[in-house]
Structure 1
């Protein structure tokens, strides 16, 4: 029987390598999303809403808020170096933001097992909750970093 891998130890030992991989998301970077916190099963990302990121009513487009939440989710679920992809998400928009506002997404791991991970993502403008997302990740058998299988 295969010995169980302690993924938290992988996170600690390979923090820099994992961090460098997850922070370099070309799409998130193209939007101006900045990764501000990265921990095992947790990520925080921020975005300054620009004038071209709004809908016809002058408020931040839902796709922008989704992209911010999705980036935080992606970072949180890949924090252990194991390739994880989004399986499903559900987002609820409660308030809007406007150009000039800074919005923050915080992704928190609720539960993780060998094959799936469950996450709650909250988006804030200042201290006001403006959207929430629930997300499920599919965890592949592949680690995107080089690990010694005896860890």
Structure 2
């Protein structure tokens, strides 16, 4: 399977990412760009998007980029900075780029932007390669 086909395969089994409304925009080996509309159910008591939603979008980007070669990886450590509030009606994109790759780990930088191209969050995720194939799990 191609990287895009593997990401589609994963998305079809990922009920949470589907609930969030995530769409795959571009997928290449160890890279992805995904998109998500903000829904009313994602708004917190301050009338902005709950930080966990933005984190979850970045985490999904990490999963789709780090697993799209069929070598299964799981998150080992993730850190997020929130740089701008997200509001109802926004559409977010998350772009995941591999910055370091070893035999057992990978490190990815994920930029989350709104529909105006404003950076709303930055995320760094480290994955551990579990030695299994995505398609055989």
> Would you call these one fold, judging by a TM-score over 0.5?
yes
Unaligned 5+ residue runs, structure 2?
Answer: none
Structure 1 length as normaliser, TM-score?
Answer: 0.83
1:134 to 105, 124, 130: 124
Alignment RMSD: 1.4
In the alignment, is residue 102 of structure 1 matched against residue 94 of structure 2?
A: no
State the Cα distance separating 1:108 from its structure 2 match.
0.6
* Contact 2:67–2:134 under 8 Å retained in 1: no
**TM-score (structure 2 length as normaliser):** 0.91
2:65·2:96 contact (CA, 8 Å) conserved in 1? yes
Structure number with bigger Rg: 1
| Count of residue pairs the alignment pairs up | 133
- Counterpart-to-counterpart distance in 2, 1:68 and 1:145: 22
Answer yes or no: is 1:41 the counterpart of 2:18: no
* Residues 1:145 and 2:132 are matched in the alignment: no
**Is 1:22 aligned to residue 30 of structure 2?**
no
Q: Which residue of 1 aligns with 2:108?
A: 119
Write out per-residue CA displacement over residues 85-135 of structure 1, whole angstroms, 9 at most, x where no aligned residue. Answer: 000100000101111110111111111121000000010012111100010
Instruction: Measure the CA separation in 1 of the matches of 2:43 and 2:88.
Output: 7
Query: Aligned partners of 1:19 and 1:88: how far apart in 2?
Result: 21
Where do 5+ consecutive residues of structure 1 fail to align? 1-13, 147-151
